[in-house]
Structure 1
Amino acid sequence: MTEACRIDVWLWRARFVKTRGLAADLVERGAVRLTHQGREARLDKPSRSVHPGDALTFVIHGRATSVRVEALGERRGPPEEARALYSEITS
């Protein structure tokens, strides 16, 4: 079985949002796009899974962010630990 994590949990652990509830709202609004194995999809449910290697694009506070999931994390740790969960994708 491959490693996976709920998108709302991952966004919270990576410190893009302050609470899981805010992460769930972001996903439910259709503001998160996931590219998994070359297929892009707009996520609609917070229970959708992300895997290491997936790419995410979302808008928070009017700023578009594109990141690659590097790790899933075990907890919502300090900022240094959160930054290790992703790498930014530059165009």
Structure 2
Amino acid sequence: MPKAEQNLPVETVRIDKWLWAARFFKTRSIAKSAIEGGKVHFDGERVKVSKEVRVGMELTIQQGFEKKTVIIKAISNMRGPAPIAQQLYEETEVSLAKRELLASQRKLHNLARPDHRPSKKDRRQISRFKQENDQQFDQHWSYNDD
């Protein structure tokens, strides 16, 4: 295909090619695998790789923990720089709010867990603490044959 024909505006393009051009996935084969794996939906239904996308369609795309709902604003079959790729779609307000809420919940969950293994000093303190509690328990609770 000559270079001049590639730059012409298009009205429809395959969904795997659009997802790649919009930089949701690094390669078309990864986009294809995600579509086949049920990670991309249109109107609540799974789509096929050959699905043609048009301006105004609403897609739900799941990538790892994140689930995005986007509205297609423009069609492109060429991958460009990230700022231009972000102009191809708009994420819905509900989707943004939900993703921010889930991200903050994951962050809080990670704060509740220690971020390192106990050091040798920490293990000695834990061991000492357990021994003291066992001794106190044994002193207060003893079996009596009265």
TM, length-normalised to structure 1? 0.86
- The secondary structure found in structure 1 opposite 2:61 is strand
Secondary structure of the residue aligned to 2:11 is coil
Q: Secondary structure at the match of 1:59?
A: strand
Match for residue 30 of structure 2? 22
User: Which residue among 85, 89, 95 is the counterpart of 1:86?
Assistant: 89
CA distance in 2, matches of 1:74, 1:46: 14
- Structure 1 letter corresponding to 2:28: R
Count of aligned residue pairs for this structure pair: 85
Greater fraction of residues in strand: 1
In structure 2, stretches of 5+ residues that fail to align are: 1-9, 95-146
> Runs ≥4 in structure 1, deviation > 3 angstroms?
none
Cα root mean square deviation, aligned: 1.4
* Structure 1, gaps ≥5 residues long: none
Q: Structure with the greater relative contact order (CA < 8 A, sep ≥ 6): 1 or 2?
A: 1
2:74 is aligned to 71
Local SS of the residue matching 1:30: coil
Larger Rg: 2
